[in-house]
Amino acid sequence: MTEVPPPAIVLVRPQLAQNIGKAARAMLNFGLTDLRLVSPRDGWPNPDAGPAASGADIVLQNAKLFENVADAVADCAHVYATTVRKRGVTKPVVRPDEAAIAIRSEPGGSAILFGPERSGLATDDVAVARTILTVPINPEFGSLNLAQAVILVAYEWSKGAGLSQPPVTDLGTPASQEELDGMIGQLDAMLEGVGYFFPPDRAPTVKRTLRTLLTKPGWNAQEVRTLRGVLSAIDRPRGPQRAEASTRNASKRSNS
C-alpha cells in the first residue's frame, strides 16, 4: 500500500509574514511540513516570519512560492478550500475531521487553501477546489485567525498519523489539478470559439459554473485523457475561422 503524503498547506495572498511564521509553527506541531505561499503581500522570504515560527524554521526554509493558486496546487489530486462563511457554491462541504479522513484515504496529494487574513479566499480561489472545508464555529462569534484555522486542520490530520488505515481502493491515479485545468482550458477555448460566453461580462461566472461542475466528480487521470480526446475529436473538423480562436485561447489557457 502506498503511503498517502501529508497535505500541503497553501496560504493564498497572506498579508502578514508574522502569520506565515505562526502557520508554520502550527503545522510542524502536527507533523506538516509542505508549506506553499501564493503571492504573499509583503514578499518572500520575509524576516518577520522567522521569529513567529518559534523554531519551525525548516518549514519556512522549504516553503515554495507561487504566483497563483493553480500553479501552487498543480501536482495535487485533491484541493480543499477553507472558508468560514457560507458560499453560494455547490460543492461538498466537510469538517476538518472529515477532511482528515478523506485526505488519508485518497491516493494522490492533497492541498488545503487558506485565504488572506482579512477577506478569506476569493470566489475564484474557491472555484479551484473540489471541496469546501469549514470549521463549525459559534454562530454568534466566528473569529478564527489564520494560524488557528491551520492548527485545527493540522491537528485533525495528525490524529490518524500513526494509525493503520484501511486499504486504499484502486480507483486509478487521480487526475492532478494540472490535468483538470488543462481539460477545462481546452473546453473554455472551444466554447469561446463558438461564442458560448455571451454576454461577455457574464463569461467569468459561466466559466466558474462549468469549472465547479467539471471538478465535482474526482475523475482519474485516464478519464481526463479520455475526455480530452473527446473534446479534440469534436473540435477537429472546424474551418479556418477557428485557427484564430484557438491561438487566442491557447494564450489564455497558459494564464489559467
> Looking only at residues 30 through 69 of this chain, which bind a copy of itself when binding is defined by CB under 8 A?
30-31, 54-56
| Side-chain-facing half-sphere of 74: CA atoms under 13 Å | 12
DSSP of 1-44: -PPPPPPEEEEES-S-HHHHHHHHHHHHHTT---EEEES-TT-S
Site string for a copy of itself, 78-117 (x = CB under 8 A): --------x---xxxxxx-x--------------------
Cell of 155: 491537528
Nearer to a copy of itself among residue 171 and residue 250 (C-beta): 171
Smallest distance, a copy of itself to C-beta of residue 39, A: 25
C-alpha to C-alpha distance for 244 and 238, rounded to whole angstroms: 12
Smallest distance, a copy of itself to C-beta of residue 71, A: 25
Nearest alpha-carbon partner for 82 in 74, 70, 73, 94: 94
118 binds a copy of itself (CB under 8 A): no
119 binds a copy of itself (CB under 8 A): no
Smallest distance, a copy of itself to C-beta of residue 68, A: 25
> Looking only at residues 217 through 236 of this chain, which bind a copy of itself when binding is defined by CB under 8 A?
217-220, 223, 226-227, 229-230, 233-236
C-alpha to C-alpha distance for 246 and 145, rounded to whole angstroms: 44
243 binds a copy of itself (CB under 8 A): no
With CB under 8 A as the contact rule, the residue among 132, 146, 180, 189 that binds a copy of itself is 132
Nearest alpha-carbon partner for 182 in 125, 217, 221: 221
> Looking only at residues 137 through 156 of this chain, which bind a copy of itself when binding is defined by CB under 8 A?
137-139, 141-145, 147-148, 151-152, 155
> Looking only at residues 168 through 197 of this chain, which bind a copy of itself when binding is defined by CB under 8 A?
168-172, 187, 190-191, 194-196
Q: Where are the alpha helices (DSSP H) in 63-145?
A: 69-72, 96-105, 123-128
